[in-house]
Amino acid sequence: MTKQIQLGLFDGVTPQDFVLADRYTPEAHVTLFCGDRLILLRQIAELGGKAELIITSPPYNIGKEYETRTSLQEYIESQRQTIAACLKILSPTGSICWQVGHFIDGHSRSKEAFPLDLVLYPVFKDFGLKLRNRIVWQFGHGLHENIRFSGRHETLLWFTWDTDEYTFNLDPIRVPQKYPGKRAFRGPRKGQPSGNPKGKNPGDVWDMPNVKSNHIEKTEHPCQFPVALVERLVLAMTHEEDLVVDPYLGVGTTAVASVLHNRRAAGADIESRYLEIARDRISRARAGTLQTRPMDRPVYEPGENLSLAQIPDEWKE
């Protein structure tokens, strides 16, 4: 049974209250920490907390409202500090997932793209971690470019400690077989269905819409990732009641995905208004009223948005 969610737990505050926390509370099912992520991570470590999954999408150093643009080297050093703090709370069987895009330097035709997964890969390796997958998240919509190809993907690096003992549950994240009627044509299973009746491995290329203005999960946060992206990781890399931590929580997508599947969660953000949105989303997720896009819903379904598929009258000439 899912526990009552507590967003912080303080003297005089009942477990049913939803509050923003100024310290990590291990008794709470969910802690939303308003402040620097390094402080939260240090508090978890001091209390002996261990996360089975650390999943985040850090700022990309491109000057969004919640970040200060710095040099690429300064950005890398800041990420190194965060990663080091995360590893102090990562369980021996745990996973750390870093979802990133590109740092773009310059303007107009002087633009140069620095893929942050390649930039940060050596940092993770410096800590002795092992890369399990480089997952490509592709989406069909975004800003349009006219001097280069439009960006339509981001990447997610999945690392564990250098050990064979790490959590990975395939069955909860299997997707429908493309050819369920396919049969083995040789070997001991000749003539029998060749696929797994539970579905197939989703692979390392994930096709999920990004959260833009017409997405049902959209909030005021400018760079929000979909709940489905985190759900797949939570189900694959944790068990019920495990702790999931997001050092750059934003509007709480990681906490929402954790709550939906009975995991504990903790995350930090320096913007209290984002955490207020996170609190509301988590409350609605617990009540079953939060709208999210299903994890395995096809990107396009026949008959969907038929009016959008029609040629505009202005183009017909």
Residue ranges and CATH numbers for the domains of the chain are: 30-311 (3.40.50.150)
Q: What was the pLDDT predicted at 144?
A: 82
| CA distance linking residue 52 with residue 243, whole number of Å | 6
Q: How far is CA 103 from CA 37, 69, 184, in A?
A: 21, 10, 46
The DSSP output letter for 142 is: -
| Per-residue pLDDT at 13 | 38
- For residue 305, the model assigns a pLDDT of 59
**Closest C-alpha to 282, from 219, 214, 191, 204:** 219
DSSP code per residue over 204-268: SEEE-----TTSTT--S-SSPPPHHHHHHHHHHH--TT-EEEESS-TTTHHHHHHHHTT-EEEEE
Per the document, the length of the chain is 317
- Structure tokens belonging to residue 97: 């997932």
**Token representation of residue 44:** 């978890």
User: Angle at Cα 232 formed by Cα 230 and Cα 237, nearest 5°?
Assistant: 95
Give the per-residue pLDDT at 264. 94
Computed on alpha carbons and rounded to an integer, the radius of gyration of the chain in Å comes to 21
**Taking Cα atoms as reference points, which of 213, 226, 230, 250 lies closest to residue 60?**
250
Instruction: Pick left, alpha or beta for residue 61 (phi over 0 → left; psi -120 to 50 → alpha; otherwise beta).
Output: left
What does the DSSP assignment read for 163-198?
A: SS------GGG-B--SSTT-B--SSTTTTSB-S-TT
- Whole-structure pTM value: 0.86
Q: How far is CA 6 from CA 30, 188, 284, in A?
A: 6, 54, 13
What is the pLDDT, as a whole number, of residue 179?
83
Give the pLDDT score at 65. Answer: 67
Pair of tokens at residue 175 = 């997707």
* pLDDT tens by residue, the chain, 317 residues: 334 455 554 444 344 444 467 789 888 889 999 999 999 999 999 999 999 999 999 987 766 666 677 889 999 999 999 999 999 999 999 999 999 988 888 778 888 889 999 999 999 999 999 999 999 999 877 778 888 888 888 999 999 999 999 999 999 999 988 888 888 888 888 888 888 889 899 999 999 887 677 777 687 766 788 999 999 999 999 999 999 999 999 999 999 999 999 999 999 999 989 999 999 999 888 888 888 877 766 655 555 556 656 667 767 76
Residue 9: per-residue pLDDT:
43
